[in-house]
Amino acid sequence: MRYLVVEAHPDDLVFFCGGTIAKLVEEGHEISVLTVTDGQGGTMNLRYDTEESLAAVMRQEHGKACACLNIHDVTYLGEKNHFVEPTHALREKITRHVRKVQPAAVFSFDPWNFDENPDHRAVGLAVLEACSFAHMHLFHPEHLQEGLSTAIVAKVIQFKTPNPNTFVDISSTLDHKIRAALAYESQIELMKDEGRLRLEKLGMRHPIFEGEFADIVAMTLRKMAAETGKPANLPAAEAFHVRGLGILENAREVVGEFGI
């Protein structure tokens, strides 16, 4: 099956669904990735003095992580990090990509999660709308004049969801996910600096923010996977809200669960 993952930032796929994607790749499914921003604002390190300088590093890190997961089809939209809104223009760009890739299912954010990052909310909403209408020839007919075809998407698979209905056992790919996550050195540095400084604001210190932080990231990902798996009695899991599109969502009791 062909899947498209639409992420807001270059590290979202790995952190939020990396274990599941590694599994799908191993099973022979095709994975394409659309990355909406370059994550070019995500730093406190003054070494990066322009957005472009961080974007270049983020693309390198993303390239390493995708190679680690055997993902080779990656496209960037180049939107501005922290300023993404669910506009008609964004929806049009995502629709165009859906029509290029022709996926059966699309992974992205659950827009109805409380999420402090506006890019996550906006991308989740725009993806849901794009996937709902991409099969209609009167919706952005200019794409068809350019030679693209309409695209029918069966389901969206939403991560960072407060309402999971599908759990994937990632115990066989968790180490793989962690290896991919460790490619994001710039973001691991940011997590460490943010954590240490926020704790200092509270008059507190903790050795985890002083030592080798990559180890902490690995430990945290293991703990998260274990916690996520508990409701489904799985040793390590990622959780999703799988939503059938249109009539499929209403008919799921008749046709059965869609799974991933």
Of 27 and 116, the one with the shorter C-beta distance to Zn ion is 116
Of 8 and 217, the one with the shorter C-beta distance to Zn ion is 8
Q: At its nearest, how many Å lie between Zn ion and the CB of residue 9?
A: 4
| 3-state SS, residue 77 | strand
Of 112 and 258, the one with the shorter C-beta distance to Zn ion is 112
Q: Who contacts 86 (Cβ-Cβ below 8 Å, separation ≥6)? A: 111, 121, 122, 123, 125, 126, 129
Q: Does 93 bind Zn ion (CB under 5 A)?
A: no
Q: Which one of the spans 3-11, 64-72, 97-105, 150-158 is the region binding Zn ion (CB under 5 A)?
A: 3-11
Of 99 and 160, the one with the shorter C-beta distance to Zn ion is 160
| C-beta separation of 64 from 183 below 8 A | yes
Tokens 């009695």 correspond to 233
**Residue 200 to residue 19: CA distance in whole angstroms:** 33
- Exactly one of 3, 5, 10, 12 binds Zn ion (CB under 5 A); that residue is 12
From residue 220, give the alpha-carbon distance in Å to each of 7, 151, 213: 21, 38, 10
Q: At its nearest, how many Å lie between Zn ion and the CB of residue 115?
A: 9
- Exactly one of 9, 23, 91, 155 binds Zn ion (CB under 5 A); that residue is 9
Binding residues for Zn ion, per CB under 5 A?
Answer: 8-9, 12
